Amino acid sequence: MIGRLPMLVVAFAIGAAPAAAVELVGPPLQPNLSNETGSSFPNIVPDADGGFAALWDVDIDGDLRSDQILARFYGRDRQPKGAARRIDGKIGGRTPTNVFGAGGALLGDGRQLYAWQADFAQQLWEKRQFVGRFIGGRAPGDEISRLETDPDMVAGAPPLPLRDGRAILRWQAFALSDREEGRFVSADGSLGPANLVFQLANARISGLAALDKGFVALFVRSLSSGEEELVGQVYGAEGGRQGGVIVVVPPSPAGTLGATSIVGLPSGDFFLLRAVRRANGSARLTGQRFTRTGRRIGGEKTLLNSIPFQAAAPRLLPGGDLLIALEERVGETKCIVYRRFGDDLEQIGPAAATDSAAGLIRGPSVVLADGRVASAYVIGRKIFVQVVAP
């Protein structure tokens, strides 16, 4: 049974005009069938007109492997464009034994890039490829092909859309745990050379965010003292490193850096948001602004004092504000709470929340072409998408 959670509200200063609230646009959409077997790994890909595609994996035969990747397409009016369709298939004439982890990005010419992982053996560790296809745009290409060229088994990450209409694909060979590789995808869908390298000594990559020009990568670096520190590296528009390594969180006991998120701003600055566990088991969410050269702007600010421990996963809105969707408890149930923050990390207007339900799990959120946000979550085997107007 899903119960209605009262709308969350924040107080305004006396005499101040209320700021626009975060609003839920209609009830949540359910892309998949309620009796579908083994639905998992939801994701969302925006289109050029303010609509989106909802993606998920399906295990049809119950063998704990995903047999299909399905997508259901929605218009700007939130109406579905027909039934769900399968987007995976044969690759080079071969049928994968397992497909999963689908994600995507909207490119500059209006086409959508979809990417996922595909296994080609009965034993999962024998061979895994990072594959994808393009849908839509002026010259749609329907062929599924490999997105990487590594001879070893790889794990791929969802594409990162850049501000100039391109995207970044990145993957990691299982034999190289401290190194990720990647390539640019141009705005017209052309694949660039696989010459991007994300690697720092004694470090593992933990995130990537687009800047006004180029992007920034976040790494967790292990120190000889047994401590860890969080560092960043800025890359230019063509993938070359710009400046040195930026220490964004100083050395701390291993396992205490918290759950971190990074988001680039239109100015070229970026925010680091960090959820740090408190003694009572909850977490405090903080934010720090940096220039692309690593200079701190102001001090670390507390956004929220008590939330369940999780990465904030902020989304940059067209005007430069942030929308943060957090999984929060309501008694024995949970809901998704949406809050808007300005570039000073102060909350703007009231928050909004989904209905609460037992077993609810937050999924990814994306900013749509019209500035709204589509946010996925899962309750059992049911996948939901809530459109939010910040």
Calculate the alpha carbon distances from 221 to 196, 228, 233, 246, 327 in Å: 20, 6, 12, 11, 28
DSSP assignment letter at 108? T
> Distance between CA atoms of 204 and 49, rounded to whole angstroms?
37
> Distance between CA atoms of 37 and 241, rounded to whole angstroms?
45
Question: Tell me, what's the pLDDT at 336?
Answer: 97
Concatenate the DSSP letters of all residues of 26-83 into one string.
Answer: EEEE--S-TT-TT-EEEEEEE-TTS-EEEEEEE-SSSSSS--EEEEEEE-TTS-B-SS
pLDDT at 72 over 90: yes
Question: Tell me, what's the pLDDT at 66?
Answer: 66
Question: Tell me, what's the pLDDT at 8?
Answer: 37
Nearest to 57 by CA among 144, 117, 145, 110: 117
Over range 359-368, report the average pLDDT: 96
pLDDT in tens, 313-329: 999 999 999 999 999 99
Question: Tell me, what's the pLDDT at 64?
Answer: 59
Whether the Cβ atoms of residue 10 and residue 338 lie closer than 8 Å to each other: no
Question: Tell me, what's the pLDDT at 36?
Answer: 60
Q: Tokens at residue 379, please?
A: 């309750």
Whether the Cβ atoms of residue 159 and residue 169 lie closer than 8 Å to each other: yes
pLDDT at 34 over 90: no
Q: How many helices (H) and strands (E) does the chain have?
A: 0, 29
Q: Which sign, positive or negative, has the C-alpha torsion 77, 157, 254, 265?
A: negative
Question: Tell me, what's the pLDDT at 7?
Answer: 37
Question: Tell me, what's the pLDDT at 81?
Answer: 94
pLDDT at 140 over 50: no
Whether the Cβ atoms of residue 41 and residue 101 lie closer than 8 Å to each other: yes
Percent of the chain with pLDDT over 70: 89
pLDDT at 386 over 60: yes
Q: Tokens at residue 240, please?
A: 């070359």
Higher pLDDT, 127 or 377: 377
Whether the Cβ atoms of residue 180 and residue 170 lie closer than 8 Å to each other: yes
Buried b (16+ CB within 10 A) or exposed e, 76-112: eebeeeeebeebbbebeeeebbbbbbbbbbbbbbbbb
Q: Which sign, positive or negative, has the C-alpha torsion 149, 150, 151, 153?
A: negative
